Amino acid sequence: FFFITLLAGTTLSISSSSWFGAWLGLELNLLSFIPLITTKLCPYLAEAAIKYFLIQALASTVLIMSASTFLYAQSVSHMMILLSLLLKLGAAPFHFWFPQVTEGLSWPQAFILLTIQKLAPMFLISYLTFSDNLMSIIMISALLSSLVGALGGLNVMKLRKLMAFSSINHMSWMLVGIYMGDIYWLTYFTFYSLVSGSVIMLLFTTHSSTVSNL
């Protein structure tokens, strides 16, 4: 049931014609993912759920406040909306929460976080009107994401954390794809999801959680 409402939230965000509708979809998505995380009474899952909820709630608050100031200061509003969406995505320099949350999840939950949960914010970023300032922010975030993703995963032994840093790295290419056009980032996202899904399924079936298990 919660997986269906999660997909419904994503669909509502993508198809919405107003920022309020998009925000509503993101909230529905968030409130559906939390029960999916806390299916078992486990301290790791509870910690991951709380961290995820707090970060997403902060980003949602910034998003709705920015959307409400749209008429008065459009450029500032667009910039704040972009920053809140980058926080939701876990793109650098707002990546600090992403590896920690992913580490506390099971493999199926990690797959949802690494793929489906990125879809709505990515679409919303692509809907923004790109000014020079926004382009600069996106390119800086893309550059930082590629560096963080590449360097952050160097000494990591836990596979979930490694997948999280890999996701941050791929995020940089998707942000560049948004700048180039919808077809580019959507194609990249599709292949990324298929490859990530295959790897996660393999790790899930072999019950691997650290590099030494491989």
**SS3 per residue for 28-65:** HHHHHHHHHHCCCCCHHHHHHHHHHHHHHHHHHHHHHH
Q: What is the DSSP letter of 17?
A: S
Contact indicator for 171, 145 with CB cutoff of 8 Å? yes
The mean of the pLDDT values for the chain is: 92
Quick check: pTM over 0.85? yes
1 pLDDT higher than 90 = no
Average pLDDT over residues 143-166: 92
pLDDT at 136 (0 to 100): 93
Confidence of residue 50 (pLDDT cuts 50, 70, 90): very high
pLDDT in tens, 8-35: 999 999 999 899 999 999 999 999 999 9
The percentage of residues in the chain with a pLDDT greater than 90, rounded to a whole number, is 73
Average pLDDT over residues 40-58: 90
Q: Angle 33-189-90 (CA atoms, 0-180°, nearest 5)? A: 50
44 CB-near residues (< 8 Å, 6+ apart): 104
71 pLDDT higher than 80 = no
41 pLDDT higher than 80 = no
Q: Name which of 105, 101, 107 is nearest 204 in CA terms.
A: 107
Q: In this predicted model, which residue has the larger pLDDT, 211 or 112?
A: 112
Q: How far apart are CA 175 and CA 191, in angstroms?
A: 15
Q: Name which of 79, 164, 94, 169 is nearest 125 in CA terms.
A: 79
pLDDT in tens, 163-179: 999 999 999 999 999 98
38 pLDDT higher than 90 = no
pLDDT at 209 (0 to 100): 86
Average pLDDT over residues 198-205: 95
Name the least confident of 35-49, 83-97, 105-119.
Answer: 35-49
Helices H / strands E in the chain, number of each: 10, 0
181 pLDDT higher than 90 = no
pLDDT at 179 (0 to 100): 86
